[in-house]
Chains A and B, each alone.
Chain A
Amino acid sequence: MQEAILKIAPPYDEQEVASISQCFEKLLGKKVQFKIIEEPSLLGGFFAFVDGRVYDYSFSTQLSELHRSLSD
């Protein structure tokens, strides 16, 4: 069982979490047990930390990247 962390922005539901876990299982080829943490600061989407890898799919990151590219 692969221990992993999933930070997710509310509102979300079980179906979302299920499809994320399914997807990672397909990706990594092993069952993944997510520790779910609700993280409103993500503003949207999720942030997964699995197997030493970061899967950042959140609005907050995209906003900060936008900020960085705009202020260069």
Chain B
Amino acid sequence: MDLQPVDIIIHIINIIVLFLLLRLLVYKPVRKYMLSREEKIKNEMNEADQYRQESVSLKKQYEASMTGAKDKLSKAMRDQQQKAEKEAGDIIAGAKTKAASIEEQARAQAEEEKRRAVRSMNEEITNLALDMASKILRREVRLEDNRALVDDFVKKAGENYAGSNPENRASL
């Protein structure tokens, strides 16, 4: 293929015409497209930026509320702990006083029972002794004994014995 200078010029002109044609036909829409794309990108960038900021502030909020929640939780747990400890302390103290009072009651009761036992034993011994004495007297008293009693009375009466009034049966 032999390239003549004319051919070359034609070619160049073709290219230029093509270019101009293309520029005319294509340039506006492409420019428009490019502009709108640029616009879109810018918007998206802004949106992205906005989202990022929002997410950052959300994150902060979230963190803040989390720490708040954590504080609240640990405070509540501490309160609960203290309350439980106090209640436990009260229960133990109550149990101790109750135990002490029960022990005291038991001791007092034992004391009382002992006293009662001793008293009733004494009572029994006395009754026994006196029963025996009266049985012996019933059997052994002789005339002389009675006479001795009377003589004693007469002697005492001699010492100005004043008999007692009926209510007070004091013996001589």
- Measuring CB to CB, which residues of chain A are less than 8 angstroms from any residue of chain B? 8-9, 11-13, 15-16, 19-20, 22-24, 26-27, 40, 43-46, 48-67, 70-71
Q: Tell me the interface secondary structure of chain B in the complex.
A: helix
Q: How far is the CA of A27 from the CA of B127 in the complex (A)?
A: 37
Residues A27 and B157 in contact, CB atoms below 8 Å apart:
yes
Contacts A20-B154, A24-B157, A56-B169 known; list 14 others, CB within 8 Å. A13-B147, A22-B154, A26-B158, A40-B138, A44-B137, A46-B150, A49-B166, A52-B165, A56-B170, A57-B171, A61-B171, A64-B130, A70-B126, A70-B129
Q: What number of B residues sit within 8 Å (CB to CB) of A?
A: 32
Q: Which residues of A sit under 8 angstroms from B170, Cβ to Cβ?
A: 56
The answer to whether A50 and B163 touch (CB under 8 A), given A9-B146, A60-B134, is yes
Residues B123 and A71 in contact, CB atoms below 8 Å apart:
yes
The answer to whether A20 and B126 touch (CB under 8 A), given A53-B163, A56-B169, A59-B137, is no
- Determine whether B3 belongs to the interface, using a CB cutoff of 8 Å to chain A: no
Residues B166 and A54 in contact, CB atoms below 8 Å apart:
yes
Residues A61 and B169 in contact, CB atoms below 8 Å apart:
yes
Residues A11 and B146 in contact, CB atoms below 8 Å apart:
yes
- Measuring CB to CB, which residues of chain B are less than 8 angstroms from any residue of chain A? 122-123, 126-127, 129-130, 133-134, 137-138, 141-143, 145-147, 149-151, 153-154, 157-158, 161, 163-166, 169-172
Query: How distant is A14 from chain B, measured CB to nearest CB, in Å?
Result: 11
Residue of A12, A22, A59 near B143 (CB, 8 A) is A12
Residues A9 and B141 in contact, CB atoms below 8 Å apart:
yes
Per CB-CB distance, the 7 closest pairs between chain A and chain B, nearest first, are A53-B163, A45-B149, A43-B137, A70-B126, A55-B163, A44-B141, A11-B143
Which partner residue on chain B sits nearest A61 by CB separation?
B171
21 contacts between A and B (CB under 8 A): A11-B146, A13-B147, A16-B146, A16-B147, A19-B151, A23-B153, A23-B157, A27-B163, A44-B137, A45-B149, A46-B146, A46-B149, A54-B163, A55-B172, A56-B170, A57-B149, A59-B134, A67-B126, A67-B127, A70-B122, A71-B126
